[in-house]
């Protein structure tokens, strides 16, 4: 029995629709499988992961940290990102604070902007929450350690904020008040230091009590109380990875720069157009990946910088470079003479390799070791592990070959 032409057409259309439905269904399934697997793969990858944590209020970021983790060495680093960090607007017409691009319902663009600042290769994961949601998380973690130098009392949005002086364990409510206090501190350097300390203490607490979070019931609550681009499986794995973090060697960095006022608004402009920040991130990632670097970087490096030239203020400007890279500059001064030709680095600590790392920052290979007997009362030993003496070959950023 022959089928009519109309019946053949109907059967062909049915088969076509069936094939399209199967292809569409398979595509959707593969999309979600790939997305989930990609997240899990990133968390397990040798060079680790980047995660942005944002605490916001009234649609503006109050506290932003970027957490880098290397799954090979289990070492981590934290970068505190100031909300007033200056970037060029999308239309390239003016400077705007990076907080301009924060959307609490979809922090993806904000995460990308922070990624660009730090020059991180991969798109970071993000977890964003408001103050109440953050308070809930802190309570789950058992509080956060903090040191407050003096009693703090203020009114913020018709809310009394009171923090006593001393070493404290902040519960969720007090942790939010600490962030409010930090953001309302007028001095930028003091504000940066408060948030940097809190960032380090918070991540350590995340690692210490991660087992309390890394279970499906709590993860479900966190998903409901935050905005994140991690699915349930990935978020669970994130907290499991936090448990493996080497808490004792956590690196805590801050993003620094120069404060300028534009249209009655304060902006933080990074030194050298952000190149120092990117260099700091590169060095930090190398440290996380190389266990040997852990020993070198952990060595005390209290640095003194002396100006051996007639260029006034050179030591102070060079100190900004080192401080931007996370080094501890304890003193700047003038050298005994102002006609030094070549920049040198002198090591007093007994760790020549650490001194070489210091020299690499300004591209000098004139590194010398000067051992002093324990108990010596020489002035040279006062709180200094490494001394840098700047010479005429230093152009303000790097040493150059001198032309006679």
Instruction: Please compute the mean of the pLDDT values over residues 119-143 and round it to a whole number.
Output: 94
Question: Domain coordinates of the chain in residue numbers?
Answer: 44-293, 299-390
> Coil, strand, or helix at residue 72?
coil
Q: Tell whether the model's pLDDT for residue 375 goes beyond 60.
A: no
Residue range 164-177, pLDDT digits in tens: 999 999 999 999 99
Q: How far apart are CA 137 and CA 202, in angstroms?
A: 11
What fold does the segment set 44-293 form as a domain? Aminopeptidase (3.40.630)
Angle at 172 between CA 84 and CA 250, to 5 degrees: 65
Q: How far apart are CA 108 and CA 344, in angstroms?
A: 45
Least-confidence region, from 207-216, 326-335, 347-356:
347-356
Q: The tokens of 215 are what?
A: 């279970």
Cβ count within 10 A of residue 194: 22
CA–CA distance, 268 with 117 (Å, rounded to integer): 13
Average pLDDT over residues 47-71: 93
pLDDT of residue 379: 47
- Average pLDDT of span 232-237: 90
Per-residue pLDDT, 147: 92
Three-state DSSP class for 342? coil
Contact by Cβ (8 Å): 289, 246: no
The residues near 172 (Cβ < 8 Å, ≥ 6 apart) are 134, 135, 136, 137, 138, 139, 143
pLDDT score recorded for residue 292: 67
Output the DSSP codes for 322-340: HHHTT-EEEEEEE-S-S--
Choose the weakest-confidence range: 22-36, 92-106, 156-170, 349-363.
22-36
pLDDT confidence band for 22 (50 / 70 / 90): confident
> Which range among 139-153, 290-304, 353-367 shows the weakest confidence by mean pLDDT?
290-304
d(CA 212, CA 116): 33
Mean pLDDT across the stretch 238-256?
Answer: 91
Q: Which of 345, 351, 330 is nearest to 399 (CA)?
A: 345
Better-scored residue on pLDDT, 285 or 371: 285
Predicted local confidence at residue 37, as pLDDT: 47
Mean pLDDT of 293-315: 81
pLDDT classification of 155: cutoffs 50, 70, 90: confident
**253: phi then psi, degrees, rounded to nearest 5:** -115, 160
Q: Are 44-293 and 299-390 in the same CATH fold?
A: no
- A 10 A CB-CB count for 370 gives 11
Query: What is the architecture of the domain spanning 299-390?
Result: 2-Layer Sandwich (3.30)
d(C-alpha 240, C-alpha 227), whole Å: 19
Segment holding 360, helix H or strand E: helix 352-361
| pLDDT given at position 352 | 86
Beta bridge partners of 262: 265
DSSP 394: B
Residues 6+ apart with CB under 8 A from 5: none
């Amino acid at each position: 029995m022959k089928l009519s032409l109309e019946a053949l057409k109907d059967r062909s259309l049915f088969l076509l629709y069936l094939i399209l439905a199967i292809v569409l269904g398979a595509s959707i399934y593969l999309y979600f499988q790939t997305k989930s697997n990609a997240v899990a793969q990133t968390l397990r990858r040798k060079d680790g992961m980047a995660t942005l944590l944002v605490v916001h209020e009234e649609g503006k970021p109050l506290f932003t940290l970027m957490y880098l983790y290397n799954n090979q060495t289990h070492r981590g680093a934290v970068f505190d990102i100031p909300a007033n960090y200056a970037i060029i607007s999308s239309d390239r017409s003016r400077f705007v604070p990076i907080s301009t691009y924060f959307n609490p319902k979809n922090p993806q663009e904000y995460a990308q902007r922070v990624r660009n600042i730090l020059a991180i290769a991969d798109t970071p994961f993000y977890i964003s929450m408001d103050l109440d949601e953050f308070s809930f998380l802190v309570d789950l973690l058992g509080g956060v350690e903090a040191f407050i130098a003096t009693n703090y009392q203020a009114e913020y949005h018709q809310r009394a904020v009171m923090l006593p002086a001393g070493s404290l364990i902040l519960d969720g409510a007090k942790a939010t008040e600490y962030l409010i206090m930090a953001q309302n501190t007028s001095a930028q350097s003091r504000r940066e230091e408060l948030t940097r300390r809190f960032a380090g203490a918070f991540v350590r607490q995340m690692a210490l009590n991660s087992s309390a979070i890394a279970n499906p019931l709590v993860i479900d609550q966190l998903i409901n109380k935050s905005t994140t681009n991690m699915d349930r499986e990935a978020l669970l794995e994130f907290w499991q990875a936090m448990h493996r973090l080497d808490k004792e060697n956590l690196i805590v960095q801050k993003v620094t720069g120069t404060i300028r006022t534009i249209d009655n608004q304060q902006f933080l402009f990074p030194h050298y157009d952000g190149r120092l920040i990117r260099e700091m991130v590169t060095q930090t990632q190398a440290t996380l990946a190389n266990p040997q670097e852990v020993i070198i970087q952990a060595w005390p490096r209290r640095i003194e910088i002396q100006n051996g030239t007639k260029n006034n203020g050179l030591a102070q400007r060079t100190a900004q470079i080192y401080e931007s890279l996370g080094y501890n500059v304890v003193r700047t001064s003038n050298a005994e003479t102002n006609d030094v030709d070549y920049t040198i680095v002198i090591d007093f600590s007994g760790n020549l390799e650490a001194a070489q790392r210091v020299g690499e920052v300004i591209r000098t290979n004139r590194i010398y070791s000067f051992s002093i007997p324990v108990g010596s009362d020489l002035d040279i030993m006062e709180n200094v592990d490494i001394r840098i003496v700047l010479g005429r070959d230093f152009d303000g950023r790097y040493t150059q070959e001198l032309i006679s």
